[in-house]
């Protein structure tokens, strides 16, 4: 059972105690149920331009797609939330805008920005969280703090592929290198997940200037307080500055006063999409239960299906073979 979703949010940035330029940016758009933190990077103040351009682009995209989004069902026939696709499209549009400005003049070349964004869907009671880079989203629920995103960083990527790597090697790696950001490449991959909102949830979106300096215990203690999002944000920024404030700091807190009464998987929210008899018959005749790409030991029919699928994916994504 769910109650009407009601949100109360506040976001702010701080230059910190070391930097002279603030390249972090936040967007709080309650009427669009959209919340964004961007952490810019690049010389000649280009990081500031990239982060602000990204949030402005996303804001404009959400404003331009209100009518078309409401006209569509909340879930497509595959059970994918319309709101999740909309959020990913907004980030991809922002990436194209950042790339266009970066390529227009030498002074902006090499600029980019990380992004973490949350979009809420009142019809389904879901929140969609997307990130590119190492800006993060945390969820506080019933006394528990959870990290909802995974960093796209050099260290995280290497550990994912080489978990056996010696710690002495990891220690020599730079900690501030991201492997995904808006402005790096036109072929951007956006990490995206959807979650059912439970009444009382609190979400923290932040740049690494906060997550690198504020302990999880301090985040949880702050979010557990019965205080406004503004007070929580200011408290978290103060903690980061007290810990050295070595980077720009961005924090955005969203408090949820409505939603489901109990937690449930996001994919249990939409009604089941049952295939018709014709689709079931076709699936039984032509498709294996599971098809793995890049497997050598396929029979002739399986190899032909895999080759055809690989060709279609290559055409869709521009992969070179």
Name residue 140's beta-bridge partners: 145, 202
State residue 254 phi and psi, 5-degree precision: -120, 120
The tens place of each residue's pLDDT in the chain, 321 residues long, gives 466 889 999 999 999 999 999 999 999 999 999 999 999 997 666 899 999 999 999 999 999 999 999 999 998 888 889 999 999 999 999 999 999 998 887 777 889 999 999 999 999 999 999 999 999 999 999 999 999 999 998 888 888 888 888 888 878 878 778 999 999 999 999 999 999 999 999 999 999 999 999 999 999 999 999 999 999 999 999 999 999 999 999 999 999 987 777 777 776 766 555 656 665 555 555 556 665 555 445 555 555 665 665 666 566 556 555
Distance from C-alpha of 69 to C-alpha of 48, rounded to nearest angstrom: 30
At residue 107, the pLDDT reads 73
Any idea where the domains of the chain sit in the sequence? 2-268, 277-317
Tell how far CA 220 is from the center of its chain. Answer: 21
- Report CA torsion sign: 230, 225, 22, 56: negative
CATH, domain 2-268, list 3.30.70.100, 3.40.50.720, 3.60.40.10, 3.60.10.10: 3.60.40.10
SS3 call for 113 = strand
Own/partner contacts of 105-111, CB < 8 Å, gap of 24 or more, are 107/44, 107/46, 108/42, 108/44, 108/46, 108/49, 108/50, 109/46, 110/42, 110/43, 110/46, 111/40, 111/41, 111/42, 111/43, 111/46, 111/47, 111/49, 111/50, 111/183
Angle of helix 82-104 relative to helix 46-64, nearest 10 degrees? 140
Distance from C-alpha of 56 to C-alpha of 97, rounded to nearest angstrom: 10
SS3 call for 206 = strand
| Positions of E strands within 105-229 | 112-121, 126-132, 136-141, 144-147, 191-196, 202-206
Distance from C-alpha of 219 to C-alpha of 205, rounded to nearest angstrom: 11
At residue 303, the pLDDT reads 57
Q: Write down the pTM of the prediction.
A: 0.85
Name residue 91's beta-bridge partners: none
* Tokens representing residue 210 in the block: 């906060």
Cβ neighbours for 178, distance < 8 A, ≥ 6 positions apart: 114, 133, 134, 151, 152, 153, 154
CB atoms within 10 A of CB 270: 17
- Report CA torsion sign: 263, 267, 269, 274: negative
Beta strand pairing call for 136-141 and 126-132: unpaired
Of all helices (H) and strands (E), which one includes residue 283?
Answer: helix 277-286
* Tokens representing residue 225 in the block: 């307080």
């Amino acid at each position: 059972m769910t109650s009407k979703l009601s949100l109360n949010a506040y976001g702010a940035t701080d230059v910190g105690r070391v930097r002279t330029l603030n390249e972090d940016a936040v967007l709080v758009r309650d009427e669009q149920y959209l919340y964004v933190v961007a952490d810019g990077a690049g010389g000649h103040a280009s990081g500031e331009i990239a982060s602000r351009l990204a949030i402005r682009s996303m804001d404009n995209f959400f404003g331009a797609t209100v009518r078309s989004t409401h006209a569509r069902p909340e879930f497509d026939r595959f059970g994918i939330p319309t709101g999740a696709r909309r959020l990913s499209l907004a980030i991809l549009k922002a990436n194209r805008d950042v790339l266009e400005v970066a390529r227009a003049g030498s002074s902006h070349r090499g600029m980019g920005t990380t992004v973490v964004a949350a979009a809420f869907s009142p019809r389904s009671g879901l929140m969609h969280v997307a990130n590119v880079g190492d800006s993060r989203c945390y969820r506080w629920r019933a006394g528990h703090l959870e990290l909802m995103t995974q960093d796209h960083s050099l260290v995280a990527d290497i550990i994912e592929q080489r978990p056996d790597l010696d710690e002495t090697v990891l220690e020599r790696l730079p900690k501030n290198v991201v492997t995904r950001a808006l402005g790096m490449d036109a072929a951007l991959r956006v990490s995206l997940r959807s979650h059912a909102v439970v009444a009382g949830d609190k979400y923290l979106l932040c740049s690494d200037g906060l997550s690198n300096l504020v302990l999880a215990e301090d985040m949880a203690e702050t979010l557990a307080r019965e205080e406004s999002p503004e007070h929580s944000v200011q408290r978290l920024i103060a903690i980061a500055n007290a810990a050295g404030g070595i980077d720009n700091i961005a924090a955005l807190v969203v408090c949820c006063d409505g939603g489901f009464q109990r937690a449930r998987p996001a994919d249990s929210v939409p009604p089941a999409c049952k295939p018709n008899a014709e689709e079931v018959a076709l699936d039984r005749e032509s498709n294996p239960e599971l098809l793995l790409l890049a497997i050598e030991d396929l029979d002739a029919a399986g190899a032909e299906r895999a080759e055809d699928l690989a060709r279609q994916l290559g055409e869709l994504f521009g992969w070179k073979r």
